[in-house]
Every structure is written in structure tokens, then in C-alpha cells.
Structure 1
């Protein structure tokens, strides 16, 4: 029977739930959903976050909430570890420099924005100067002209301020709309009439001569002012003044003329009326076009950079070749008619490009750009000569799937200049793992500074520019450590040693590390240590409560699953101390797709972690898999879902379930699955296409049809729906709904602005039309994609627990096959 539940209507019908075994030794009381889904600040504790050093290195600042207030506050502590952290009052916060900002090359000054105004701080004296104080908003502060000036942006124009004189200079004059027509007509007929008037009438001729004289005088005076640049319908961003002051570079944005945006209605509002929330477009919608503009101040001329010489810009994406042949991809049994897989001609012509930069060398003599194809299958690093508007290739990274990975992402990535002002450094997945490279702009010679089957997750140069500070998972995919690396490459020197994860901030003098550290069953805490190998970490915070600490939280085993294609897939395994033969199991599927959860540190899925402990207390075995598409394992795993979500990422779950039955004695008739967002999507695919493997599933805030998700995420993996209909047809659960056999629970927030509530409504209608009865939909009227209210979390997980207890536990009075 179909049921649609609201937040307050938890069904009570159904078989009696299995009784919980006695509480583990050392706990005060058994775990319950009500207990673990309470406000974390009120019973678990709030870990320190947003850690940064004071500019003088005498204090470490961080966000924290030990007093269990409604939100975190700013705290400070001395790095000696001898004092108790103290809350920073609001007046004192106003007197402190902002945590972000830009430093000069010598690290003697910093500029930053606060509340729409610009400030300059002298780091030695601590003196703060206010650069602007206006009702308009100033942004993007930086140092300019070899650190002599401070630059910033106001109303899409670039300004500079001279600390020595206090003088402010406007460097650009961007104007909306089109340039007004001049006095000399361009039309032939009008030009003829103008010439006739000048020839016939002395008064007209003399007045025109006077006008031209005034115009020449105005132009002479205007040379001291920036050129008026008319934007038409474009917008401008990323304004930069070149180090020699000759050029201003900027990025021009052209928004699509017409783009339909999805609206999400909010029903529970303070006004009492339904209010629409404007959210996003859907994949395949027209995207913003980008160009790099160059304003040559000396020549009073503007240019738009061309990209035609980029290698591979006009190459046909590899997947398009499939559409020149008969379709051979497996298609859903109940889907979408033959028209959903209709062939289209391959796209031709040059792809659009988005430029990032320029990035100038510290001596101001050289610059480079990072350029990315709009389809994200190419990234180019090119040298830029603004005088000739020419670019020359330094490095090209191509991927038939999409370019990404640690230090690369979807933007410019982690890039910069080495101190010699000759070599550019960057990260690339050229070998299949994200590593650190340099390329010499004078001869094109490229060098790998790191290598191996691990990822460089963060890289930055020390302030003296002699050492790399590296975060990497070199010891184990499930650990993150801090390393030193010589400037020109060599052996990584490991600084941190404890198993788990270390998030490190280096003190201004480079001698001390502020470390946010956690382990699998221990939440994040703040530590301090010397910046040298093997130094002892000293704990500065204690965040967890006695109530939380009263339970012996399990350390999950990190195991590998041998997938059907031979790949090693990492997973977390939770097992009862005395597991019953042929007992039940639950497979958890993390969200985001590109995310890591089978690791040795405190999970961002802490509620799910606690729920897994509760399940184990009740006799369940729990498996949490870093399926194909997950982060932390290199390019092959990252792109393993390309053009087929619900392919290897799903078979990894099936292979994990098989291992549970073969190695750990789990009953093949008592395996459930659940997850949220991407995990909800996989749960739906599992319930619709693998009904003999999974008896029950809970799909939370799930994508049900990828053609309705956003562009930035989906286009990378499945391309555009009208160009790659095969990928969308085989990847969308709504096309496979006829395969549902087991018990399905779906939960969704009604004001979800990420995966819209419309997704689950469309799937519900599909299930109704298919006459399926073994599903339920619970809706949460006030929740977005990430739930906030403890009452919502509690209601949702009580339903999940009931689903598993009803369908996976033996019936009362004996061991059975498990009901549907």
C-alpha cells in the first residue's frame, strides 16, 4: 500500500520490532535514535573549526562552542598549551585583522576586506589603516605596482590607493550599455548630407570647427583619465593591474539571454503564504560565456584575447563518436520509449573556454593563464604576452571524462610561480594521481616534484619560499599527514605521525603547527606541535561531553573488497562482537559521489556513524563503501562513473553485499541499503535493478532523474542530455522503477534547493502508475537538502530503523527468511 507521511505522522502499524540487546559495557544507557539525533551541540559537543593564526603568531583563533549556545563563537588560545581557550568579545573581534586577505611579497603588510571596506595592516606594529569608508562595497583587495599600491574593486571598476600619499586613482571606467554614436554619421546618405551642409553654410562650418577644437582639448585633458569601456550586455570581474602599471586585465561575462530557473515552493513560512524560492537551472541549460580582456593603458586600447591556437580546442569529444554508430548500450526495460535514445549528429566547431588569471611573476616580467574548456575535458596552462595578445602552451591536461582532482577542481586549481620567476608550478592528474609539477616558461621543460600512487591534497610554499608544505595520503588512502618537501623536489619528509587526519596551519614564523586532528571514533580537536618530524602534539581543546564519552564508540575496520573487475574497493566495516549466523546487514552509501568516508578520521557523517553503532548493538553488520567515483584514490576511481552512474558505483555495493554473505556469515535474504543525496540515488538504483540482493532500502533526498539536476556537477559526468542521451537513460532511477520488489522508504525535504522535491514527486507518480505498493514517502516541510532540525533527523531515522527491523530481522519466535 502506498503511504505518504508528513513529519509528524510516524506510522505505528507493522510487526513488533526486534528487542535491543543489553547496552555495551561502559555505557550509561542503550543508544536510541532519539538520543543520537539530538542537537549535536547539546550532547556530543562542537569541535573547533576555521583555525587560523594571529598575525603575530602569539595566538591561535578558531570557531568553537563549548558552552552549547545556538551557534559557534570565536575563541583564542596561546600555542604554549598552558592556558584555557578564551572567547573573543565582539569589540575585540572588530579590532583584529580579518583572517583572510592578501600579503605583500615580504609578508610585512596585509590588505583585507571587512563589511565592504578595505583595510591595510602593518604586521610588525599591528597598526591598521582604513583604506576606504564608503556606502558602496569595495572588494578584491590586493597589492599592486610591486607592492607600492593597494588595489580594489568598486562598482565593477578598479581603483588604487597609495599608502604614502593617501591618493586614490580610478584605473578603469567600465560603463554599461553601448557607446553613444559620434558626431560623424556612418550611413552613406547621412555623410553626403553632412558634407553638403558644411560646403553650403559658413556658420555651420565655423561651428563644426569650434566643436572639433573643444573635442581636441577635452581629449588632451582626458588622457589623465581611464578610457571609457562600454560593456554592452556583458559584466566584468577579476580586474587586475599589471605589475608595471601598463595593463589592466579583466574577465568579461556574457550571461545567457534566456535561462529558465526552477522554483521551489516553501509552504511553512512566517507570512502564512506559500513563497517561491528561485534556485537553479537544469543540466544542459545555456551557460555563461567568458572572455579575457586587456586594456593597454599606454596605447589607450582594449583587446579581447583569442584562443584559436589552443591545441585540441576543436577536437570532437570521444563519447560523440558513439553516436555515429548503432546504439549498443543496455537500456532500461520500462523507460522512456525509443525516442529517449534518439541519435543526434556530433557537435562540431571550437569549444568555449574559460580563462583564469593572469598570474604574474614576482618581478613582473612574466604572466601565465589557466584555461579550461567549457566541457571540462581540457585544461591548458599558457604563457601570456599582453603586448602582442599572444599565448604559448606550457601544459595541456586532457581527459576523455573530465578534469578534476585534489588541487585541480573545476577552476584554476593550485598554481603559482617559483622564486626564480621562471618556473610555474601546478597540480595535475597526468599519472592518474594528483601530483605537483613545474614547467619552465623559457624552454617548456616540465618536472614532476612528487610521484606515487597517492594524492597531494594540499600544497603551498613556506613564507621563505624554500620548502613545500604538503598534505597527502601517502601512507594509506585513509590517512592524511603533513609533510615537508624541498623546493625542487625530492623525498617527502613526514611531520605528523598519528593515524587519522591532520589539518595543519603553519605559524607566521614557520616554527609551530596548529593541528586539527581526529581519529575514526574521536571527533576533531585542536592541537599544537613543533614544525619538525616526530614532535609531540599537545591538545588545546576538549570538546566532547561526558554523556557522549560514556559510550564505547567503535573503531570500524578498514577493509578492501575485490570488485568484479579486479579493483580494490575500500570500505568501513562494523561488526557485532558476537554476530549471529545468517544475521542481517545494512550497506550505507555516502553522498556527494566524489567524497571519501572509508577513512581513519572522524566522519562528516557523524550521525550515520552513531546510527551504525546503534545497528551493530542490535545485531546488524554494517558496510560503508567508498565506491567508484569516491575521493582519495586517484583519477581511475574518480572517473569510474563517467557516462554511467549506477554502473560500477552500484556493482561495488553488490560486490560488497556478496562479500558479507561469503566472508562474514550474513544472510543473503537480510541485506538492506540506505544513503542520502548520491547515496539515495544509488539506493534507488539498487532497489530497482538489484531486487534479489537488497531486501529493503531507504533513499534520502535522492536524485531520481539526472536530467533534472544541475549543470556544473552533472555535465562533467554525463555530458549534456541532448548530446548524450544514452548516459542519461541508463543512469536515471526513474527509468527502472518497474523493477522494485523490496520495501522502499523515500525521505525528502520539501524546500530542498539542491535536489528538488519535484524529483521525488515525479518518481512517486511513476510508482503509482506502475501500481507498486511496497513504498513509502516521508516529506519534511521545513527542511532543505541538509536537514537542520533534530526533530526531522529523529523522525527520519526512526523510519529507517523501523524499515530495517521490519524487513531484515527474523520474525518473532524464530529465524526466518525476512519479510517484505
Structure 2
């Protein structure tokens, strides 16, 4: 065989091998996503920084049970086991240390209540001798918290606030009037928990001699009733849920003095129809700070209260023509040595960091620009530096920065493209970074404060290896202009064997709610890989962040004020029309799906955009904002009494006569958040309008619609609908 023939044969073999390898790649199946969990990524869980900054602790699960190990920062090696669940005979799921790291609180048998609330069996572990003490003889309690002096634990039980002396085991009941569906002491009601992201509503003073707590009187709040199925006679589950325009709980702040055994009520003003979403000890044991908002949430007051008398004074006030977003005003850090406080606000149009003195006077705005600080990571008072995450590089990115407290010396510490979140050590010498991008899974690293890499803790090598065996197209980002000329961010997932000469059906995925964001340069989860499965079946999947979403400033977000649904729907329709103009899109086969606010959006888009969308799936949708809670709804729409048109003009129920395409409506009957009532009333309206549609209800499932075989069933159902109707 001559050299030329040998070369040709070798080239053919290489080419054939490459094609053969490519052909061996698999498409993403439903079983891969929901049965075998092929694409689940790993992380590092339960990390707590130790007080000296040279160690951190991590919760790990082994064959003998959970354990908390102490890890050397510089070497990455485990130095000792701090809590051994196997040896203690306790299968705990969470832990926390006291400041001195001599004791720990661990929780087991934890039972979820709502989104953030839970109760469980708590033990106090002595880290010196390894012994444990079970609290309240194993009775389930809520929010157990060690006192700063380490000899007491405060907790909530049966809507009352207690504390227990660890040495004597003597229990003191601070409040006596707690009663289900009437009075709650030290824990949030349903709507505060859901919309203000709080569940525990008490806090020890820095010296451990006082406990401040919020009391909720929900006696006059209307009850909502859900039936639970599965028994001969279904049972009623009743809980207080203030729907838009209805009565809220009356809230008040109280401070209990352990020495005098007396409780002082804090003066929060004459107005009773208010919100008290935060309490903070300032560091001064005699001063409690709290936030107060009016019912419409367009005014926020920072108040200081005398912890002994309850007298209060206004320190800082912020007003808006639309609303003041608590999420953008919640990073409040009190500085030592009477040096004031650091806060965040979007008062200049973008969320930034501000420094005020103790009387509320502005010292300086520390960060500025047409970008947002998404998270205030920490304030290093010793070195006068502030660490924060921002969108300065792009609304799609999240990077860690450091800046001097005088607003100078700004430096990016994580310049790589993608999304980074940070857990920083208490001495600001190290941080753990969680980084991912749209096409690269989570990478967890330990870094020096300068950004220098110390050690890779997790890089999901197994997941990367598994993905290499599948036909997966990278997420492609693009922009287009909506009806008013605003540029919108979007991404697209194409079939791996995409052919620009073919015409493809498109499924759009939407959430679209105020301040939300789906189009980011970050790794997706299970839902994202379901989209990859659909791509492998020949669909293009697209996601558009409409006007009203986050990371692009106050004006972009607040445009939807008093008129939810209008601009968001216009933008999703504009997105579909843009896609329909592309040469490789079959504009007669464009569908849309979403969950919760996204279900609301997909329903509206199918009805209002009936000439654009062929099919829609609405999972757990709000169908009228009259049925949703006060805090969320009134923040964006005012009350129904003030703005009836804002509630009704863009309710899917209002537009049922416009339905032409295929609708699949899905809801859980046990949804405590977006009630099944929303689906029932939409179904009733559709029937009256003589519109055909498909529906599925999941008995007793909550807003997440999961448990057992539920997720598999749900996504199989939606996949079948898409294949039949798109």
C-alpha cells in the first residue's frame, strides 16, 4: 500500500470515528431529567465561617449520619469533627453556633409549615465535651435561638414566645395570649412570611437581657379554607390570608426585659394599618431600630426606639410615587463606635450603597451608576472596605466588587463572565464563591479577599462528563426591541442538529413578574434541562425578560405600576412576533408556558395574542389579582377599591372570549399561595364562554406541585400537550 493510500485510509478512519462518536451522543430524555437525575449538580452545603477566620465548618452526610466538620482554610483539610450526629444518635439537618463557638443548636425531625416556616426537635450541643441537651423534652418548637450569653434559648411554641434556662431547664413563657388564627407572638403571619421573606419575628438584645418581638393580631383577617383530600370525609384547613383590599393583621413591637420580667410596647405611631417588616438591634443595647411602611408601601420609615421606655423617633424616610421596594432597602448594617449605618436604596433610580450618620443624615453615596448592587456582602469596618455583588458588567452578569467606604478604589474581584454569589468570612480574609454560567455548572471555590484562588471545593466534574455524552445546544443570548423601542434581553435554546433551512416550532418560557429575572448568564436547573429535552424533540425554546423585570433600574421595573399584565403581555407578544419573522421559525406554531406569575402571563398572552400564540400552558396561575394577598398585590396595583381597572383589565378571566388557541391549565388543590380558587374561576368563565381547553388538578399539592411521582407526571403531561398542540 503506497503512502498516499495509507494517508487517505487513515483520514477516512479518523473521520468515521468522529462521526461514530458524534452518533453515540444521546438526546436528553424525560427519564434523564426526572427519573435518574442525570443533570443534578453538586454543591458544598452548610458552610459557616469560624470566628478566627482560619477555619470554616461544613455539614456533611456520611454512612453513620450527619456531621459537622471543621476545615482548615489554607490547606482545605478537615481538622476535626465538631458535631457527630451518628455518635449523638441525632439525624439533624441544620446547625448554628454561638459566637464563642462553645455550643451549637441542631434541629432534627424538621417539619415545614409554609415557604420559610418550620418546626422541629432542637438539641443544644456542648462542643467541648460533645454532650447534648434536648429542649422541651423533644416537643417540636420554632426558631430556637441561643442567647448572646449562651445560657438560654428563646423559641416560639403554639404562637407564644418562650425562653428556657439551659442549666436549670426552667421555662419562662413571655407571652400568654397566643392562639391559632388570632394572635401570633414572635413569628410572622402567612403574608409577612411570603412577601417580606421573614418567619422568625424576635431577636435577642446584644447583651442577652432583652428580647424584642413582633406581635400579630390577625383576629379580623378573613380566613381562607382549603379542603385536604384522601380521607372518607375531606378535612378543612383554615388559615388567615388577607386578600387584596381586605384587613391585614394589626402589628406591634414589644420588648421583654428578662430581669424585670416586664414588657414594653414600642411606639410605632398613631396609624394602625401599617407594616412592620424588620426589627434590628443597633449594637446599642438600649436602642432597637425598626422599619415601618404604610399600607400602599410608597413610604418607608427607619425608626429608633428606646428599649427601656418604648419611645421612638424618625431617623430616615423614603417616599416614592409608585412604591418603595423593601428588597432594595433591606441591607442595613450598623457600624461600631457611633459611626452610623450602611444601607442600600434605589432612590437615584438604581440600587446603590449609602452611608448615614446615627441621626440619618447622609454622609455619602458610596456606589453610583446605571447598574445595581444586588447584594451587600459585607462591611469591613477595620479596613474601611465594602464588598458587594453588582450588575455593573451587564444585567445578565453578577460579579463581586470591593470599594472603600469613601467611594474610591473600586475593584472587581471575580471578573469571569457568569453569575457569582459569595459567602465571606467574618474577618473578611476569605470568601467562598459559587460561580456558574449558562453553559458551565456550579464551581465552588475558596478565595482570599484579594480574589486569589486558594482551593476548588467543587467543580461538578461528573456532571460535566455526563453532559459531554448528550446532544445539548448552548444557550444563546440575544436582544430585540419591544413596541416602545425598549431593548429586551432574551435567550434561545436550539435543537442540537439545528438546520437554518428548516422551520421550527417555538415554545416561550415566561415568568415576567416585578423585579424578577430569568435571562441571566447562570446555570439552569431541572426546568432548563426539560427545555433541552424539548429542543432534542425539535422545538426551539425561548425566554424573554419583559419590561417590569429586574436588574435594569427602577424606571424599567416600575413601568408596570398600577397596571400589571399590560406591558408584560405586550412584550411577550412582541417577542413572539420577532421570532416569527426569523427564517427558521414556523410562526404558526409558537407556544408559551409559565408557572405562577408566569402562568398568569401565559394565559393572558394566549388570549390577548390570539393571532400570535397557538398554545399555552398555565401552571398555578393568578387569574385575578383580587384573589392574591395584600402585600404583594397592593404594592404594585394599590387596593381594588382605589384601582378596580388595574385589577380587572388584565385578568385572564376578563379575556376568556378571546381564546382561540389551545390552553392547558394546571393547579394544585393544596396551594396556600396562589389558591386553587384562581383555576376554578377561570374554568367557570371559560365554560360560560363556551371555550374548550384542557386541565389537570393535583390533589393536596402546594404551589410547587411536587412530592412522590408528581414532578414526573406533571412534566410528562406538559410534554405530551406540547407535542399534540404545538
Same fold (TM over 0.5): yes
Distance 1:506 1:283 in 2: 40
Structure 1 residue aligned with 2:43 = 48
Going from structure 1 to structure 2, the CA distance change for 1:793 and 1:86 (only over 3 Å counts) comes to farther
**Any idea what the Cα deviations from partners look like across 1:563-599, whole Å, max 9, x if unmatched?**
2223222111224532335543222113765432111
1:291–1:305 Cα contact (<8 Å) kept: yes
Is residue 2:708 matched to residue 1:748? no
Structural mapping, 1:589-668, within 5 Å = 589-590=510-511, 594-603=515-524, 606-663=525-582, 665-668=584-587
In 2: Cα distance, 1:789 partner to 1:303 partner = 45
Aligned partners of 2:719 and 2:359: how far apart in 1? 63
CA contact (8 A) 1:44 1:545 kept: no
Mean CA deviation greater in 76-85 or 479-488:
76-85
Instruction: Quickly say closer, same or farther: Cα 1:388–1:631, change in 2 above 3 A.
Output: same
Q: Offset at 1:754? A: 2.9
Q: Distance in 2 between matches of 1:140 and 1:518?
A: 34
- Mapped contact 1:425–1:436 kept (Cα < 8 A): yes
Question: How big is the shift at 1:764?
Answer: 1.8
State the 1:121 CA deviation. 6.4
| CA distance in 1: counterparts of 2:174 and 2:327, whole angstroms | 38
Q: Structure 1 residue 515 and structure 2 residue 433: aligned?
A: yes
Alpha-carbon distance in structure 2 between the residues aligned to 1:702 and 1:745: 11
Range with greater deviation from structure 2 (273-282 or 709-718): 273-282
Partner of 1:482: 400
- Matched ranges for 1:296-445 at <5 A: 304-308=265-269, 351-354=273-276, 356-362=278-284, 364=285, 366-386=287-307, 389-404=310-325, 406-408=327-329, 413-442=330-359, 444-445=361-362
Q: Which has the larger radius of gyration?
A: 1
Deviations 1:583-638 (Å, cap 9, x if unpaired)? 432221137654321111112xx333223333434443332012233233333333
CA distance in 2, matches of 1:277, 1:171: 31
Identify the residue that residue 696 of structure 1 maps to in structure 2. 615
1:141 alignment partner in structure 2: 145
Q: Alignment partner of 2:590: what SS?
A: strand
Aligned to 2:154: 152
Q: How does 1:1-400 map to 2 (within 5 A)?
A: 25=22, 28-40=25-37, 43-48=38-43, 50-53=45-48, 55=50, 57-58=54-55, 60-61=57-58, 90-91=85-86, 101=96, 104=99, 112=105, 114=107, 119=124, 133-135=135-137, 137=141, 141=145, 143=147, 152-153=154-155, 156=160, 174-176=175-177, 235-237=184-186, 249-257=212-220, 259-266=222-229, 269=230, 271=231, 274-278=234-238, 281=241, 282-293=243-254, 304-308=265-269, 351-354=273-276, 356-362=278-284, 364=285, 366-386=287-307, 389-400=310-321
Structure with bigger RCO (C-alpha 8 Å, 6+ apart): 1
Aligned to 2:114: none
Counting matched residue pairs gives: 667
Instruction: Return the offset for 1:280.
Output: 5.5
- Does the Cα contact within 8 Å between 1:64 and 1:75 map onto a contact in 2? no
Residues 1:540 and 2:465 aligned together = no
Deviation string for 1:461-492 (max 9, x for gaps)? 35765333322222121122222233443343
Does the C-alpha gap of structure 1 residues 511 and 143 become closer, same or farther in structure 2, counting only changes over 3 Å?
Answer: same
- Please, what TM-score do these two structures have when normalized by structure 1? 0.71
Q: Distance in 1 between matches of 2:297 and 2:320?
A: 8
CA deviations over 1:720-766 (Å, ceiling 9, x no partner): 33343211111310111000011222233343333333322322222
Following superposition, the deviation at residue 242 of structure 1 comes to 5.4
Alignment check: 8 A CA contact 1:113 1:141 kept:
no
Find the aligned partners of 1:628 and 1:700 in 2 and give their Cα distance.
Answer: 22
Quick check: 1:433–1:635 contact (8 Å CA) kept in 2?
A: yes
- CA distance 1:790–1:626, change in 2 (3 Å): farther
CA distance in 1, matches of 2:630, 2:24: 47
SS at match of 1:572: strand
Measure, in 1, the Cα distance between the counterparts of 2:176 and 2:70: 45
Cα distance in 2 for partners of 1:712, 1:652 equals 26
Shift of residue 117, structure 1, vs aligned partner: 5.2
Matches within 5 A, 1:483-498: 483-498=401-416
Q: Distance in 2 between matches of 1:666 and 1:253?
A: 54
Q: Write the distance in 1 (CA, Å) between the matches of 2:712 and 2:20.
A: 20
Q: Deviations over 1:325-371 (max 9, x none)?
A: xxxxxxxxxxxxxxxxxxxxxxxxx7424263242235x46543222
* 1:263 Cα deviation after fit: 0.9
Residue number among 417, 422, 447 corresponding to 1:529 in the alignment: 447
Task: Report deviation, 1:424.
Answer: 1.8
Is residue 455–residue 474 contact of structure 1 (8 Å, CA) maintained in 2?
yes
1:580 and 2:501 are equivalent in the alignment: yes
Moved more, 568-577 or 236-245: 236-245
Contact kept? 1:39, 1:790, Cα under 8 Å: no
Show the 5 A alignment for 1:441-480: 441-442=358-359, 444-461=361-378, 465-466=382-383, 467-480=385-398
In the aligned structure 2, how far is the partner of 1:433 from the partner of 1:614? 38
Task: Name whichever structure is richer in strand by fraction.
Answer: 2
How far, CA to CA, are the matches of 1:617 and 1:455 in structure 2?
Answer: 37
**C-alpha distance in 2 between matches for 1:24 and 1:613:** 20
CA, structure 1 residues 377+617, in 2 after alignment: closer, same or farther (shift >3 Å)? same
Distance 1:802 1:111 in 2: 50
- Please say if residues 512 and 601 of structure 2, whose CA atoms lie closer than 8 Å, have aligned partners that are also in contact: no
Judged with a 3 Å threshold, the aligned counterparts in structure 2 of structure 1 residues 403 and 510 are, in CA distance, closer, same or farther, namely same
- Is 1:771 matched with 2:693? no
